[in-house]
């Protein structure tokens, strides 16, 4: 039921201070209420692959869906709508009426830290997927917040960097996903990016927020800032930023009243901002949210999440027909760190506490018979930071996990009083949304637990903090990270580098682990262009020190002795995260050497990689026969992968990104990262496959690529003015799903401007039994032949003949037809 207030009455009767209070958050996750007018507080929640609730640590567990690139790999609009419905239900369970997603920025480079959150390098594809995802969420009356508007395509100095981009590229590549998503789904909110675009921070850019978003696209909804992404009072008000998040406000307090009284901001502007906020509150209030944060984890949710994970898996190679594997094999070798250390999501705002996770190891084991002999070897570590201390860790009273105690006084104060205590499942905490009335900005915490050593040997312990901290094992100082601190990448870029100490442990013996922590004001790490947040954060990691040369030899020997070998390696949330970009495309440490050794020992090895964006697969990829890419698959990561490996699900995922052979081949190679506070989008409209095809540069795996265990034939192409019709037949030996990709190619010589060789302008996915044929219809919209004319400041559908190209990937075109545009049409708007 909508709250009983009338918007225009509130605008007429509320004081200026009451109005201004509505234009900033109350706290980290909630909008500000006005009880006098019966205006409730609305809860928001991250993230793009799940709903965290209101806590970054120690929160209520949640469903975790595959990452954005994983969802996009399904190429399935109906499935994404169902995924959105699950997100909507999770929001209701967590008491959130506004979901902060989806992320639809463009992966200019494989190195972008949040590339895994977004869908694709292709703007049309991204916009269509986002529209379906949002429609699913909003079918539950939850408001979706499409983000980050616009050009937040790197993490380096993200709050300071100025994205220098041409108007054509801005329109055709970076704004287009938002334009299409808004047209298809009318999201209730838009979140502004941290960065500048062509000289102005987006949260202060009237042209982007008013002229384009509201006036040209006729969109009505709430414009909110990214968290701590408001940088002014007057400029942000006048540009069209409705809501500053989070609260308490930094910019919309007494200084905002002064801005109004000095007429830097008019009453009419304040009223416009208030009206948008109140319309948002009324819309969000329709959601039937839980009064407390609760869990769902229903069987039907698990089934859907498992389908999402399985349908996202992409079979890249199957040259020796090794896949699908038999469940009745007598023995199998399982190799690699990602088999047991489940990489289920990326880092930053996308991370959450999952209901459960299924590792690839567990998913594979569950498929095999009881008589199968399983041999495991890690081979080489792939962590960026030592794995978080969790297994074998118990609190002082014997529960799993650790105890964190908060104090107003430092450890040097005798008999200091405990202010608060919380149990945490692992030795990781992030306090940006933690508050206690007895704690000021500067406070202290002790994290402690008892660790049962799983082996005898030298264990490495590591700590990284945003704040400061010292680690003690059995009351002996092992790591000092207080006085001398090195900048690192953790905690949205505010954390220290990991400091490591070594301790001899004995298997079966218990050790007291204690971290003495002080909050963020004690940090000595200074890094420009990075968002600061209150409270601070900390993390304890540990791992047995191993001789990787010996383990690689053992892995290769194991592979040579087993006909059936699976190696699973890749990245994790410590490598791909909000707050920093990757330095290169390489796999961690000695992992690439491990892969080469294993593939050489057994060329039939099934190579499984995990990452959210492209990784360096050379030189071993040229020697593989069987290769699979699995992304970050959420709760059901291992089950989804195993379903495909063993054929319970016929492989049907397709790449939403081009996988270049080398980082130096990618179009943004010379123009990525902030230099002097700016980044030049020098590749212009030639992002991803548009670039590789234009310069005729070979890629390792092309956009849209993916194999099936059956075969499909496309035929009988008919091109009409507004649609394309063709037939698809399953000509193989089992049922399966096929993706039909429709590209439009302009006549480069006849066009007035440079055009890509072809662009994706439609797609469909069908399920076919053996020998089944189905007619497929793909509608053509006005974006099919359009480009953006900078002189006219409008979209142009240019007169001429265009190629209609039907493919199984951008590099595998199997049918061609012609489309004629009889007269040039100029247009603007959605």
Q: Which residues are catalytic?
A: 226
Backbone angles phi, psi at 499, to 5 degrees: -100, 135
Strands 457-466, 537-544: pairing kind: antiparallel
- Specify the pairing of strand 373-377 against strand 331-335: parallel
Dmax (CA) for the chain in angstroms is 85
- Residue 696 exposed, middle or buried by CB count within 10 Å (0-12, 13-18, 19+): exposed
What is the distance between the alpha carbons of residues 402 and 250, in angstroms, rounded to a whole number?
34
Cα 261 from chain centre: 42
* CA 299 to the chain's CA centroid: 25
**Tokens describing residue 404:** 């964190």
- Please, which residues have CB within 8 angstroms of residue 313's CB and are 6 or more apart in sequence? 73, 628, 629, 630, 631, 633, 640, 641, 643, 644, 649, 651, 653
In sequence order, what DSSP letters do the residues of 527-553 get, joined into one string?
A: -TT----SS-EEEEEEEE---HHHHHH
Whether the Cβ atoms of residue 49 and residue 634 lie closer than 8 Å to each other: yes
Q: How far apart are CA 559 and CA 595, in angstroms?
A: 11
Q: Is the dihedral of CA 119, 125, 131, 137 positive or negative?
A: negative
Count of beta carbons in the 10 Å neighbourhood of residue 7: 17
What whole-number distance in Å separates Cα of residue 763 and Cα of residue 728?
Answer: 13
CA distance 39 to 44: 16
Q: 276: how many CB neighbours lie within 10 A of its CB? A: 24
Q: Residue 90 and residue 48: Cα distance in Å, rounded?
A: 12
Q: How many CB atoms lie within 10 A of CB 17?
A: 12
Strand partners, 96: none
Strands 678-680 and 476-481 turn out to be: unpaired
Cα(102)–Cα(89) distance, integer angstroms: 15
d(CA 512, CA 393): 10
* SS3 readout for 164-187: ECCHHHHHHHHHHHHHHHHHHHCC
Question: If residue 678 lies in a helix (H) or strand (E), which one and from where to where?
Answer: strand 678-680
Rounded distance between C-alpha atoms, residue 444 and residue 315, angstroms: 49
């Amino acid at each position: 039921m909508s709250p009983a207030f009338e918007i225009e009455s509130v605008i007429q009767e509320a004081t200026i201070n009451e109005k201004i209070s509505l234009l900033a958050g109350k706290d980290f996750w909630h909008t500000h209420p006005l009880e006098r007018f019966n205006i409730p507080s609305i809860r928001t929640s991250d993230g793009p692959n799940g709903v965290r609730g209101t806590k970054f640590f120690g929160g209520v567990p949640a469903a975790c869906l595959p990452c954005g690139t994983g969802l996009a790999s399904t190429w399935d609009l109906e499935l994404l709508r169902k995924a959105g419905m699950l997100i909507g239900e999770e929001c209701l369970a967590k008491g959130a009426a506004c979901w902060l997603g989806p992320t639809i920025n463009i992966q200019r480079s494989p190195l972008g830290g949040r590339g895994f959150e977004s869908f694709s390098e292709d703007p049309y594809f991204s916009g269509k997927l986002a529209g379906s995802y949002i429609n699913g969420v909003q079918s539950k009356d939850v408001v979706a917040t499409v983000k980050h508007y616009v050009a937040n395509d790197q993490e380096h100095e993200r709050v300071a960097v100025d994205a220098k981009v041409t108007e054509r590229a801005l329109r055709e590549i970076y704004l287009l996903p938002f334009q299409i998503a808004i047209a298809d789904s009318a999201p209730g909110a838009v979140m502004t990016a941290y960065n500048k675009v062509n000289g102005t921070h987006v949260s202060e850019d009237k042209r982007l927020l008013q002229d384009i978003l509201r006036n040209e696209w006729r969109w009505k909804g709430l414009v909110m800032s990214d968290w701590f992404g408001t940088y002014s009072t007057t400029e942000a008000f006048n540009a069209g930023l409705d809501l500053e998040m989070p609260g308490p406000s930094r910019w919309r307090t007494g200084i905002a009243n002064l801005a109004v009284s000095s007429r830097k901001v008019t009453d009419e502007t304040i009223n416009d901002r208030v009206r948008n906020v109140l319309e948002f509150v009324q819309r969000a209030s329709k959601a039937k949210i839980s009064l407390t944060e609760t869990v769902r984890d229903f069987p039907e949710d698990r089934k859907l999440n498992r389908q999402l994970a399985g349908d996202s898996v992409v079979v890249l190679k199957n040259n020796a027909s090794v896949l699908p594997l038999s469940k009745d094999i007598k023995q199998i070798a399982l190799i690699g760190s990602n088999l047991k250390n489940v990489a289920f999501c990326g880092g930053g705002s996308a991370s959450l506490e999952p209901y459960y996770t299924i590792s690839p190891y567990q998913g594979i084991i569950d498929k095999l018979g009881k008589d199968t002999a399983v041999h495991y070897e890690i081979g080489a570590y792939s962590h960026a930071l030592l794995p978080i201390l969790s297994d074998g860790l118990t609190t002082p009273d014997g529960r799993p996990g650790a105890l964190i105690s908060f104090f107003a006084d430092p450890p040097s104060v005798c008999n200091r009083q405990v202010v608060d205590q919380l149990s945490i499942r692992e030795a990781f905490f992030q306090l940006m949304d933690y508050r206690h009335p007895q704690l000021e900005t500067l406070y202290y915490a002790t994290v402690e637990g008892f660790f049962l050593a799983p082996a005898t040997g030298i264990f490495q312990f590591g700590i990284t903090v945003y704040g400061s901290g010292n680690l003690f094992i059995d009351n002996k100082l092992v790591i000092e990270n207080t006085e001398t601190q090195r900048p690192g990448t953790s905690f949205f870029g505010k954390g220290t580098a990991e400091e490591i100490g070594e301790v001899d442990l004995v298997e079966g013996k218990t050790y007291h682990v204690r971290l003495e922590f002080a909050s963020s004001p004690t940090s000595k790490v200074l890094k420009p262009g990075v968002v600061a947040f209150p409270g601070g954060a900390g993390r304890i990691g540990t791992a047995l020190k191993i001789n990787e040369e010996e383990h690689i030899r053992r892995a290769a020997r194991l592979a040579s002795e087993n006909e059936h070998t699976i190696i699973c390696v890749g990245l994790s949330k410590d490598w791909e995260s909000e707050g920093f970009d990757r330095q290169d495309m390489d796999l961690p440490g000695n992992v690439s050497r491990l892969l080469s050794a294993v593939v050489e020992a057994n060329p039939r090895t099934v190579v499984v990689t995990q990452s959210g964006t492209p990784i360096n697969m050379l030189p071993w990829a040229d020697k593989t026969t069987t290769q699979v890419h699995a992304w970050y698959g959420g709760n059901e990561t291992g089950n989804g992968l195993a379903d495909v490996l063993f054929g319970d699900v016929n492989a049907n995922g397709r790449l939403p990104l081009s996988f270049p052979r080398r980082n130096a081949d990618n179009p943004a190679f010379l123009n990525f990262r902030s230099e002097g506070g700016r980044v030049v989008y020098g590749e212009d409209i030639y992002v991803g496959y548009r670039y590789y095809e234009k310069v005729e540069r070979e890629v390792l795996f092309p956009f849209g690529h993916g194999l099936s265990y059956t075969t499909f034939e496309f035929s009988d192409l008919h091109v009409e003015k507004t649609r394309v019709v063709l037939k698809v037949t399953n000509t193989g030996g089992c049922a399966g799903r096929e993706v039909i990709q429709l590209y439009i190619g302009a006549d480069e010589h006849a066009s007035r401007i440079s055009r890509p060789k072809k662009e994706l302008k439609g797609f469909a996915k069908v399920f076919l039994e053996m020998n089944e044929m189905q007619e497929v219809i793909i509608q053509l919209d006005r974006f099919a032949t359009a480009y953006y004319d900078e002189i006219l400041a409008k979209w142009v559908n240019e007169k001429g003949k265009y190629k209609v190209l039907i493919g199984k990937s951008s590099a595998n075109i199997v049918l061609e037809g012609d489309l004629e545009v009889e007269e040039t049409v100029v247009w603007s708007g959605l």
